[in-house]
């Protein structure tokens, strides 16, 4: 074993040491499929091999570098089915459109199944769109779909009991309802039409047609391959070998360079330092971690520590807090919010919102100097909720029984074996009112608004970034690059000057991860009770979160 480990270490060191060379006339080939995250998860295998899945800034940094890199003669985007939000797609599009200003060709190659509205939205930013002859183009009208579990809970004898402020706070409707309530439908329809309108305008402009003409095509979609060319949504039908031939001329060979390999040539410029702090995932107390079911968990203590480190570093001139979270624990959110407030007292703090920065994700943004969101960001959801599922009926169905001894009536407050008592419900409602009041006061103070005005656009309602800009919840529309430009301006750094980005959290090495892993990660789902509580999404105590089950395609 020692010999094998030594050999692995030697191979890894050799791979890291050996010099790489990028050939002239290279073509950057970007494979985009599945999810695109903001930050790398803790990954032992990735740390060992040095290979990690690309995150959003890997994509945009490579596209930007290739635009001015004389060794890169063109770009090919190979698109598969994507599982990411519309704000990240919007940011990627912006950088692909900027690449076109270089005069170098950019081709989106649609050679996989599952190409629908999100994929086509991204593809439309390329100079040309090529489609495999056997692949239909699955563009059509847009829909938003939510899943409801109330019928299943009834069959399992599980009783949902949740309370929320206010009527648009719909995160628990998946447990309590079987379909949209009137307020839930109004909220979803508003977000859907906001994203749809952006899709129509952006894609139509890229394909040199009017939004009305593009919508007419979508109304009659999906399209056969021949129809896709006829309707001018696709430039030509082609295979991968024909893409390669396109970049050959004379004696010039096909010289592809992958995103992963090209990333090693992209350098972080020297200059004044700006911090980019990533705040991704469900917000919970404690340290950040990975969960088998939730992915990256945003630990309140970890993000707070990153904010303190950036605040106390005299070389860091400003902070950009990049948020991609639908919220979670109010307590953890408040821990982070306090550190944002303290950091702002020392240096500019600019929030950059990704796919979602809502509920607790908006809570932590409120004290920032400026807030920037993409037009397609989901934000707002200023509201709170609390509740549980009574699993006593399910336990009886499974033949499981429990018993208890308590020293007071409220000791059973979050027991999953009974409903709330009248006194417990009174406490829950009081707690919700107090937390909602704290939330709206914080927003009012941070945004320079009256509490009454915040409540009017609050009530748990979600908004797109464009809608939030109109109501004052967001200062400007744009991606991370716009947030960085604002941070430079606030820090009195000339716009043309390069900056060195210091990214938090700092990625850990292999040995650090090995020593920090504990048995709790391996036993997260080690008991029936723990499993049921994760499935049930017990919200103890008050939470500020949004539903993750809404899909817009």
Closest CA to 285 of 332, 336, 330: 332
The mean pLDDT of 365-375, rounded to a whole number, is 98
In the chain, pLDDT over 70 holds for what percent of residues?
Answer: 88
Instruction: Indicate the number of domains in the chain.
Output: 2
Q: Which of 40-54, 65-79, 175-189, 508-522 has the least mean pLDDT? A: 508-522
- CB within 8 Å of 354: residues ≥ 6 apart: 38, 56, 85, 87, 88, 91, 280, 322, 323, 324, 374, 377
Question: Residue 526 — very low, low, confident or very high, per pLDDT cuts 50/70/90?
Answer: very low
Q: Which of 126-130, 282-286, 345-349, 353-357 has the least mean pLDDT? A: 282-286
Provide the 8-state DSSP code for 42.
P
The mean pLDDT of 150-167, rounded to a whole number, is 95
Contact call for residues 138 and 222 (beta carbons, < 8 A): yes
The mean pLDDT of 484-501, rounded to a whole number, is 97
379 and 294 in a common domain? yes
386 bridge partner residues: 163
Q: How far apart are the first and last CA of the chain?
A: 49
Question: Residue 538 — very low, low, confident or very high, per pLDDT cuts 50/70/90?
Answer: very low
The mean pLDDT of 356-377, rounded to a whole number, is 97
With vertex at residue 212, the alpha carbon angle to CA 210 and CA 213, rounded to the nearest 5 degrees, is 65
The SS3 call for residue 348 is coil
pLDDT at 516: 55
pLDDT at 40: 85
Within-domain flag for 196: no
| Distance from chain centroid for Cα 188 | 18
CA–CA gap between residue 307 and residue 341 (Å, rounded)? 10
Contact call for residues 385 and 169 (beta carbons, < 8 A): yes
CATH number assigned to the domain comprising residue 504:
3.90.226.10
Instruction: Please say which residue of 243, 263, 283 terminates a domain.
Output: 263
The mean pLDDT of 39-53, rounded to a whole number, is 65
pLDDT at 17: 47
CA–CA gap between residue 332 and residue 430 (Å, rounded)? 20
Preceding omega of 228 cis (within 30 degrees of 0)? no
233 and 276 in a common domain? no
386 and 255 in a common domain? no
pLDDT at 251: 73
360 and 245 in a common domain? no
Cα dihedral 160, 183, 200, 210, rounded to 10, equals 160
CA–CA gap between residue 201 and residue 100 (Å, rounded)? 19
Task: Tell me the pTM.
Answer: 0.91
Q: Is the dihedral of CA 489, 494, 498, 500 positive or negative?
A: negative
Paired sense of beta strands 349-358 and 316-325, if any: parallel
Question: What is the length of the chain?
Answer: 553
The mean pLDDT of 401-408, rounded to a whole number, is 95
CA–CA gap between residue 63 and residue 74 (Å, rounded)? 10
Within-domain flag for 200: no
By annotation, the residues acting in catalysis are 169, 359
Is a pLDDT exceeding 60 seen at residue 14? no
- CB within 8 Å of 240: residues ≥ 6 apart: 109, 111
- The H or E element that residue 228 is part of is helix 225-230
Is a pLDDT exceeding 90 seen at residue 550? no
Structure tokens at 551: 């899909």
Is a pLDDT exceeding 50 seen at residue 453? yes
Other Cβ atoms less than 10 A from the Cβ of 542: the count is 23
458 and 542 in a common domain? yes
Between 182-206 and 211-219, two packed helices, what is the crossing angle to 10 degrees? 120
Q: Which of 224-228, 272-276, 507-511 has the least mean pLDDT? A: 507-511
462 and 437 in a common domain? yes
378 and 255 in a common domain? no
227 and 357 in a common domain? no
Instruction: Please say which residue of 263, 296, 325 terminates a domain.
Output: 263
Q: Mean pLDDT score of the chain, rounded to an integer?
A: 90
Question: Residue 259 — very low, low, confident or very high, per pLDDT cuts 50/70/90?
Answer: very high
| Distance from chain centroid for Cα 224 | 32
276 and 254 in a common domain? no
Indicate left, alpha or beta for 286 from its phi (over 0: left) and psi (-120 to 50: alpha). Answer: left
Domain that holds residue 391: 272-403+410-508+531-552
Contact call for residues 369 and 400 (beta carbons, < 8 A): no
pLDDT at 291: 81
Q: HSE-up of 442 (CA within 13 Å, CB side)?
A: 25
The mean pLDDT of 272-292, rounded to a whole number, is 93
pLDDT at 43: 59
Is a pLDDT exceeding 50 seen at residue 530? no
CA–CA gap between residue 168 and residue 66 (Å, rounded)? 44
Residues 86-135 have pLDDT tens digits of 999 999 999 999 999 999 999 999 999 889 999 999 999 999 999 999 88
330 and 233 in a common domain? no
Within-domain flag for 431: yes
The mean pLDDT of 247-273, rounded to a whole number, is 92
pLDDT at 46: 52
353 and 244 in a common domain? no
Distances (CA, A) of 167 to 15, 191, 350: 57, 16, 31
With vertex at residue 19, the alpha carbon angle to CA 14 and CA 25, rounded to the nearest 5 degrees, is 140
pLDDT at 513: 52
Within-domain flag for 546: yes
CA–CA gap between residue 262 and residue 482 (Å, rounded)? 24
Is a pLDDT exceeding 50 seen at residue 331? yes
pLDDT at 491: 98
With vertex at residue 458, the alpha carbon angle to CA 454 and CA 464, rounded to the nearest 5 degrees, is 110
Burial class (CB in 10 A: 0-12, 13-18, 19+), 527: exposed
The mean pLDDT of 122-149, rounded to a whole number, is 95
Residues 197-240 have pLDDT tens digits of 999 999 999 999 999 999 999 999 999 999 999 999 999 999 99
Q: Where do we find the tokens 């009208």? A: 141
Within-domain flag for 492: yes
Indicate left, alpha or beta for 508 from its phi (over 0: left) and psi (-120 to 50: alpha). Answer: beta
Distances (CA, A) of 482 to 311, 372, 495: 21, 8, 11
Is a pLDDT exceeding 80 seen at residue 335? yes
Within-domain flag for 484: yes
Within-domain flag for 536: yes
pLDDT at 360: 95
Within-domain flag for 368: yes
- CB within 8 Å of 111: residues ≥ 6 apart: 78, 131, 132, 135, 239, 240
326 and 236 in a common domain? no
Closest CA to 351 of 341, 366, 336: 366
32 bridge partner residues: 79
């Amino acid at each position: 074993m020692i010999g094998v480990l030594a050999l692995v270490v030697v191979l890894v060191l050799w791979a890291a040491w050996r010099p790489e060379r990028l050939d002239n006339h290279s073509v950057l080939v970007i494979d985009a499929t599945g999810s695109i995250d903001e930050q790398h998860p803790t990954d032992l295998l990735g740390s060992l091999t040095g290979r990690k899945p690309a995150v959003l800034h890997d994509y945009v940094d490579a596209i930007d570098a290739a635009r001015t890199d004389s060794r890169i003669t063109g770009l090919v985007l190979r698109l598969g089915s994507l599982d990411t939000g519309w704000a990240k797609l919007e940011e990627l599009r912006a950088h692909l459109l900027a690449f076109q200003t270089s005069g170098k060709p950019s081709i989106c190659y649609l050679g996989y199944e599952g190409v629908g509205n999100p994929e086509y939205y991204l593809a439309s930013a390329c100079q040309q769109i090529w489609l495999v002859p056997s692949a239909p183009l699955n563009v059509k009208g847009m829909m938003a779909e939510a899943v409801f579990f109330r019928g299943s809970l009834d069959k399992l004898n599980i009783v949902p009991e949740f309370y929320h402020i206010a009527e648009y706070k719909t995160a628990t409707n998946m447990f309590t309802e079987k379909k949209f309530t009137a307020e839930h439908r109004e909220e979803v329809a508003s977000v859907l039409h906001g994203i749809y309108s952006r899709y129509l305008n952006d894609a139509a402009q890229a394909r040199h047609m009017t939004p009305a003409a593009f919508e007419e095509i979508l109304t009659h979609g999906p399209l056969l391959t021949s129809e896709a060319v006829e309707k001018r949504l696709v430039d030509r039908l082609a295979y991968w070998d024909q893409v390669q031939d396109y970049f050959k001329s004379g004696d010039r060979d096909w010289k592809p360079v992958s995103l992963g390999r090209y990333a090693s040539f992209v350098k972080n410029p020297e200059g004044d330092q700006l911090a980019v702090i990533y705040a991704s995932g469900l917000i919970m107390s404690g340290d950040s971690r990975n969960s088998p079911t939730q992915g990256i968990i945003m630990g309140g203590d970890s993000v707070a520590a990153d904010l303190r480190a950036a605040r106390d570093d005299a070389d860091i001139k400003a902070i950009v807090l990049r948020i991609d979270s639908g919220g979670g624990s109010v307590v953890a959110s408040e821990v982070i919010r306090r550190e944002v407030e303290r950091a702002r007292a020392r240096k500019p703090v600019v929030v950059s919102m990704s796919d979602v920065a809502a509920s607790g994700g908006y809570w932590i943004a409120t004290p920032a100097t400026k807030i920037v969101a993409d037009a397609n960001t989901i934000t707002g959801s200023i509201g709170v909720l609390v509740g549980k599922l009574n699993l006593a009926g399910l336990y009886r169905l499974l033949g499981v029984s429990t018993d208890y001894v308590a020293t007071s009536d409220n000791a059973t407050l979050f027991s999953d074996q009974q409903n709330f008592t009248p006194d417990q419900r009174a406490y829950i409602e009081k707690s919700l009112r107090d937390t909602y009041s704290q939330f709206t006061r914080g927003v009012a103070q941070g945004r320079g608004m009256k509490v009454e005005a915040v409540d009017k656009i609050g009530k748990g309602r979600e908004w797109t970034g464009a809608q939030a800009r109109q109501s004052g919840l967001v200062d400007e529309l744009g991606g991370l690059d716009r947030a960085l430009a604002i941070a430079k301006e606030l820090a009195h750094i000339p716009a043309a000057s390069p900056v060195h980005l210091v990214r938090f959290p700092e990625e850990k090495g292999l040995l650090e991860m090995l020593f920090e892993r504990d048995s709790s990660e391996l036993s997260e789902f080690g008991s029936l009770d723990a499993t049921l509580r994760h499935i049930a999404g017990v919200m103890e105590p008050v939470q500020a979160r949004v539903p993750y089950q809404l899909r817009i395609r």
